[in-house]
Amino acid sequence: MEVDILTIAAHPDDVEITCGGTVIKMVEAGYRVGILDLTGGESGTRGSAALRAKEAGRAAKVLGAAYRESLDLPDAGVENNRESKMKVAQKIRDLKPQTVILPYWEGRHPDHYTAGLLGYEACFLAGLARLPLAGKPHRPFKVLYASQYVPTVRPTFVVDITAQYAKKLKAIFCFSSQFSPPKDLGNLFPSREDIDGRLSSEARHFGQMIGVRYGEPFIQREVAEVADIVKMPVRSI
């Protein structure tokens, strides 16, 4: 199994929330997309690892992902150590993605930002020939960061997911264990209506940055090249 794009995230449902629309859009464009969940989400207040694995499988089908796997690292205990990096590096060698999407390297949840740092270093290690990893060395050409969880960070670019937004919500709602009934107002877990409203508001915010209805934000560390300044997208005035 080889993929064009590999998304790496800490928990089941992170990919769906942060870059699910982009995954769908890339699948529709003909790319093979893989998802690597670092944990099973077993430390969450709701749902077991087994239940969330079933939900993740259903969500992957909605997204159109060609591959999904969990590394079963400890939830709420993801560490950027050599053992974990080698496990991720091996998957990168196996799957040979040209583009890797990681969580942004800052944020509220330690698993999220640690996954971003771990994933970047694993991408580098996967290209070292003398490491004790199976297969030929492989290093992705592009590493991107999904910054949905850190809305205060100005994105480098935004992907128009207007046509994919409804399917993105469908994939998120596959994780039914994570939602409360609509009338359960005292529960910390949001209802489907809450999620729809929250994500819609955020997607509208990022979409407005590029003049579309719904968007997903990304960061890239390097400067982008522009070949034709006359045909650059997004109107200035």
Give the integer Cα–Cα distance in Å for 9 and 95: 16
Q: Which of 160, 149, 122 is nearest to 6 (CA)?
A: 122
Rounded to whole angstroms, how far apart are CA atoms 178 and 170? 14
Ordered by start, the domain boundaries in the chain are 5-219
Say how far apart CA 26 and CA 39 lie, in whole Å.
Answer: 24
Q: Dihedral of the CA atoms 61, 65, 67, 71 (nearest 10)?
A: -90
Q: Which pTM was predicted? A: 0.93
Which alpha helices (H) appear in 29-129, and where do they start and end?
49-63, 82-95, 110-125
Which amino acid would we find at residue 228? D
CA atoms of 114 and 191, how far apart (whole Å): 28
Residue listed under structure tokens 């077993």: 42
pLDDT by residue for the chain (237 residues), tens only, comes to 899 999 999 999 999 999 999 999 999 999 999 999 999 988 765 668 899 999 999 999 999 999 999 999 999 899 999 999 999 999 999 999 999 999 999 999 999 999 999 999 999 999 999 999 999 999 999 999 999 999 899 999 999 999 999 999 999 999 988 875 555 544 445 666 777 888 999 999 999 999 999 999 999 999 999 999 999 999 998
Q: Which CATH superfamily is domain 5-219 in?
A: LmbE-like (3.40.50.10320)
